[in-house]
Amino acid sequence: MKKLMFILAVAFLAVQLQAKLMVQLGAGIDLAGKQTFSNETFGSDSDVNTGVSLFGELLSAGEFLTGEMLFGLGMEYQVPRELKNLSPDAHKRQYSYLPVYATLKYVLLPVGITPEAQVQFGYNFLVSEKNFELDASNNFTANGGFYWAMGAGVDFKPFLVQLLYKSMQSSFEWNDVSASVQGMESNNVQSQLSLQVGVRL
Tell me if the domain spanning 2-200 has CATH number 3.30.1300.10.
no
Q: Is the pLDDT of residue 97 over 50?
A: yes
**Dihedral of CA 109/110/115/118: which sign?**
positive
pTM: 0.79
Question: Which DSSP string do the residues of 152-172 spell out, in sequence order?
Answer: EEEE-SSEEEEEEEEEEEEEE
pLDDT for 19: 58
pLDDT for 134: 46
* Amino acid making up residue 84: K
Q: Is the pLDDT of residue 144 over 70?
A: yes
CA atoms of 95 and 140, how far apart (whole Å) = 15
Give exposure, 100-131, as e/b (b: 16+ Cβ within 10 Å): bbbbebbbeebeeebebebebbbbbbbbebee
- Residue ranges covered by each domain of the chain: 2-200
pLDDT for 2: 54
Q: Is the pLDDT of residue 188 over 90?
A: no
Q: Would you state the torsion angle of the CA atoms of residues 126, 130, 136, 137, taken in this order, to the nearest 10 degrees? A: 80
**99: preceding bond cis by omega (within 30 degrees):** no
Among candidates 194, 197, 13, which has minimal Cα distance to 102?
A: 13
Give the range with max mean pLDDT: 34-38, 82-86, 105-109.
105-109
CA atoms of 99 and 57, how far apart (whole Å) = 12
Query: How do 43-48 and 81-84 pair as beta strands?
Result: antiparallel
CA atoms of 58 and 62, how far apart (whole Å) = 14
Q: Which residues contact 9 (CB under 8 A, 6 or more apart)?
A: none
CA atoms of 132 and 98, how far apart (whole Å) = 15
Confidence of residue 128 (pLDDT cuts 50, 70, 90): low
Q: Is the pLDDT of residue 184 over 90?
A: no
**Dihedral of CA 67/147/164/112: which sign?**
negative
CA atoms of 159 and 200, how far apart (whole Å) = 6
CA atoms of 133 and 72, how far apart (whole Å) = 35
